[in-house]
């Protein structure tokens, strides 16, 4: 045991990007733990006034671009939320996808990545119920044309927050202290105990419920800022604030159209940070639950999606770490694999500089026709762009050949 633990790096620290206080830390952790819809609920939980809570959030926004987002319960509005990992070896084809995929209304996130399986494009689709085959066909066509080399689709059903907290934060020195050895011991101790923590459970896909255009419009704006006032939105829709408040209370909240809320912030210096996605397959459900439980309140990951892959309990983690700590994290996973706890894993490091994202495409919903979803124009645009890439390659190859003189 001690010999294996010695392979892990000793505890070391990273200077914080902000002078956090215990109250600020509690505020941020609370935003992961409860569904923050109203400012007064957050203030009550913190035991401070609404005005002071508002002051703290505004200060965090100014200093750290801190926001609280609402994450829609997409299944309840007739959409499936799907992660797509597209391996793309060609730099020119990657650039084409990075430029054209974000133009589709139902592609809400696009990142370039590099990781254990090579380089590619990570994207998230919203697909209306019954249209999943169209997305599969779209990606298979791209692969048949040689634009993408392989692809994987992962449904996002049981999306949960992980409290990305301050257990490893030293308030006296304003620094983060990473202790991977202690984390490994904690995971092993939890697995060897007789208790089996049910930190997260797999969920089945929720059924669609009652919603309309007003509800989608509200969700779209709450995704960008959960405390968005309704009165200005009512003005944009040319309706009364009372009508929009009715939809917010009785539809958005009453029908649980918000899955959860999540704070957005940079815990570390941006230039030293790596945003990642990890797909981890475990040997047992107990191992998965013990692992996730051990991440609680540590500055490692902020969300997880649990699912079954080839009968193995699996999880996709999203998070941010200093670059060197990300590799310490993967070293930890290697040790867990040696112990027979982790089956295997793949990692994807996301390039935030070229990333693009947007909120729920409410404007694509028709009260009569439903969601207007079409992939054919997007496919045609990608094929047209890649033909130009191929033509440029052919011209360069021809020019190179013409300059080669026979021996």
pLDDT digits (tens, 9 = 90+) for 89-123: 999 999 999 999 999 999 999 999 999 999 999 99
Q: Does 282 fall in a domain?
A: no
Give the model's confidence band at 366: pLDDT under 50 very low, under 70 low, under 90 confident, else very high.
very high
Residue 380 CA to residue 350 CA, distance in Å, equals 27
Mean pLDDT (the chain) is 91
Residue 164: which region, alpha, beta or left (left: phi > 0; alpha: psi -120 to 50)? beta
Do 150 and 78 fall within a single domain?
A: yes
The mean pLDDT of 339-365, rounded to a whole number, is 94
Give the model's confidence band at 194: pLDDT under 50 very low, under 70 low, under 90 confident, else very high.
confident
Torsion angle (degrees, nearest 10) of CA 14, 16, 22, 28: -110
Predicted model pTM: 0.90
Percent pLDDT > 70 in the chain is: 92
Identify which of 297, 260, 247 has the alpha carbon closest to the alpha carbon of residue 36: 260
**Residue 116, domain extent:** 74-158+358-391
Q: Does 376 fall in a domain?
A: yes
Do 82 and 145 fall within a single domain?
A: yes
> Which of 255, 276, 310 finishes a domain?
255
Let me know: does 90 contact 247? Beta carbons within 8 Å. Answer: no
Residue 204 CA to residue 305 CA, distance in Å, equals 12
Q: Does 334 fall in a domain?
A: no
Residue 393 CA to residue 380 CA, distance in Å, equals 20
83 CB-near residues (< 8 Å, 6+ apart): 122, 123, 124, 153, 154, 155, 156, 277, 305, 316
Q: Does 122 fall in a domain?
A: yes
Identify which of 290, 60, 298 has the alpha carbon closest to the alpha carbon of residue 165: 298
The mean pLDDT of 364-374, rounded to a whole number, is 94
Identify which of 256, 286, 275, 363 has the alpha carbon closest to the alpha carbon of residue 320: 275
> Which of 205, 230, 255 finishes a domain?
255
Q: Does 56 fall in a domain?
A: no
Q: State residue 405's pLDDT score.
A: 56
Q: Indicate whether 235 pLDDT > 70.
A: yes
Who wins on pLDDT, 55 or 355?
Answer: 55
User: Where do the DSSP E strands lie in 41-149?
Assistant: 67-72, 79-87, 107-115, 118-128
Q: Does 92 fall in a domain?
A: yes
- Which region among 153-157, 216-220, 275-279, 358-362 has the lowest average model confidence (pLDDT)? 153-157
Q: State residue 209's pLDDT score.
A: 84
Q: State residue 178's pLDDT score.
A: 96
Q: Does 302 fall in a domain?
A: no
Percent pLDDT > 90 in the chain is: 79
CATH of the domain at 104: 3.30.70.920
- Segment 118-164, tens digit of pLDDT: 999 999 999 999 999 999 999 999 999 999 999 999 999 888 999 99
Q: Which helix (H) or strand (E) holds 247?
A: helix 241-247
Q: Indicate whether 43 pLDDT > 50.
A: yes
What total of structural domains would you count in the chain?
2
Q: Indicate whether 314 pLDDT > 60.
A: yes
Q: State residue 1's pLDDT score.
A: 45
Q: Does 272 fall in a domain?
A: no
> Which of 227, 255, 283 finishes a domain?
255
């Amino acid at each position: 045991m001690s010999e294996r633990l010695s392979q892990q790096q000793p505890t070391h620290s990273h200077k914080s990007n902000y002078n956090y206080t215990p109250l600020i830390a509690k505020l941020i952790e609370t935003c992961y733990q409860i569904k923050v819809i109203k400012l007064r609920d957050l203030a009550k939980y913190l035991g401070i006034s609404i005005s002071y809570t508002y002051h703290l959030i505004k200060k965090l926004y100014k200093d750290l671009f801190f926001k609280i987002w609402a994450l829609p319960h997409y299944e309840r509005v007739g959409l499936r939320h799907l992660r797509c990992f597209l391996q793309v070896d060609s730099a020119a084809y990657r650039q084409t996808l990075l430029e054209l995929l974000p133009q589709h209304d139902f592609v809400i996130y696009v990142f370039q990545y590099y990781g254990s399986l090579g380089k590619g494009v990570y994207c998230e689709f919203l697909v209306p119920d019954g249209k999943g085959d169209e997305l599969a066909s779209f990606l298979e066509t791209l692969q048949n044309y040689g634009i993408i080399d392989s692809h994987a689709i992962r449904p996002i059903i049981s999306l949960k927050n992980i409290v990305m907290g301050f257990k490893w934060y030293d308030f006296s020195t304003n620094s983060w202290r990473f202790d991977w050895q202690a984390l490994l011991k904690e995971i092993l101790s939890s697995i060897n105990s007789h208790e089996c923590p049910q930190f997260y459970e797999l969920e089945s896909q929720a059924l669609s419920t009652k919603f309309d255009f007003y509800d989608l419009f509200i969700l779209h704006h709450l995704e960008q800022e959960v405390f968005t006032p309704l009165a200005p939105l009512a003005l944009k829709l040319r309706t009364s604030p009372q009508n929009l408040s009715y939809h917010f209370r009785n539809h958005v909240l009453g029908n649980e159209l918000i899955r959860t809320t999540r704070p957005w912030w940079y815990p570390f210096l941006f230039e030293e940070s790596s945003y990642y996605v990890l797909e981890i397959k475990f040997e047992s459900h107990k191992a998965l639950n013990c692992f996730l439980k051990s991440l609680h309140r540590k500055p490692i990951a902020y969300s997880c999606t649990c699912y079954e892959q080839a009968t193995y309990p699996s999880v996709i983690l999203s998070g941010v770490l200093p670059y060197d700590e990300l590799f310490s994290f993967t070293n930890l996973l290697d040790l867990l694999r040696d112990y027979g706890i982790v089956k295997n894993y793949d990692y994807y490091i996301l390039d935030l500089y070229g990333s693009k994202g947007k909120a729920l495409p409410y404007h694509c919903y028709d009260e009569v026709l439903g969601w207007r979803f079409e992939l054919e124009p997007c496919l045609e645009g990608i094929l047209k762009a890649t033909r130009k890439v191929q033509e440029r390659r052919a011209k360069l190859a021809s020019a190179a050949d013409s300059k080669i003189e026979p021996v």
